[in-house]
């Protein structure tokens, strides 16, 4: 079975990160911004795994497991906050939520 070069993984990671960044910058709903941030986080994880595989070191893969664990906790807390805001204001539009600044 042919081995996929690391550059392909890094290119895919860059594309996913760019798509996530575009989503963060263009989307107006908090849920879509949240999902775009998760896409960017997974792109970073993909590059960590690709480099760990290329260098034959398990440190990158271990870091990815830690990041995935923290991301799961972040998702639970983030979605709970978004649901709480939606219940209070009946919108998740980030422009309408600008008044939360204080």
3-state secondary structure of 18: helix
pTM value is 0.81
Whether residue 4 is predicted with pLDDT greater than 80 in this model: the reply is yes
Give the model's pLDDT for residue 100. Answer: 60
Residue range 11-69, pLDDT digits in tens: 999 999 999 999 999 988 888 998 999 999 999 999 999 998 888 888 888 888 898 99
Q: Distance between CA 99 and CA 102 in Å, rounded? A: 7
Residue range 78-97, pLDDT digits in tens: 999 989 888 888 888 887 77
Give the model's pLDDT for residue 102. Answer: 58
Identify the residue whose tokens are 């263009």.
26
Q: Distance between CA 17 and CA 35 in Å, rounded? A: 12
| Phi and psi at residue 93, to the nearest 5° | -65, 125
Of the two residues 71 and 102, the one the predictor is more confident about is 71
Whether residue 3 is predicted with pLDDT greater than 90 in this model: the reply is no
Confidence band for 98, pLDDT divided at 50, 70 and 90: confident
């Amino acid at each position: 079975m042919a081995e996929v070069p690391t550059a392909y993984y890094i290119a895919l990671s860059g594309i996913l990160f760019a798509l996530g960044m575009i989503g963060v910058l263009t989307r107006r709903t908090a849920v879509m911004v949240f999902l775009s941030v998760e896409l960017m986080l997974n792109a970073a994880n993909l590059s960590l795994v690709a480099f760990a595989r290329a260098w034959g070191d398990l440190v990158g893969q271990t870091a990815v497991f830690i990041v995935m664990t923290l991301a799961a906790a972040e998702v639970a807390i983030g979605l709970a906050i978004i649901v709480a805001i939606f219940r209070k204001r009946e919108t998740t539009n980030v422009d309408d939520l600008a008044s939360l600044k204080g």
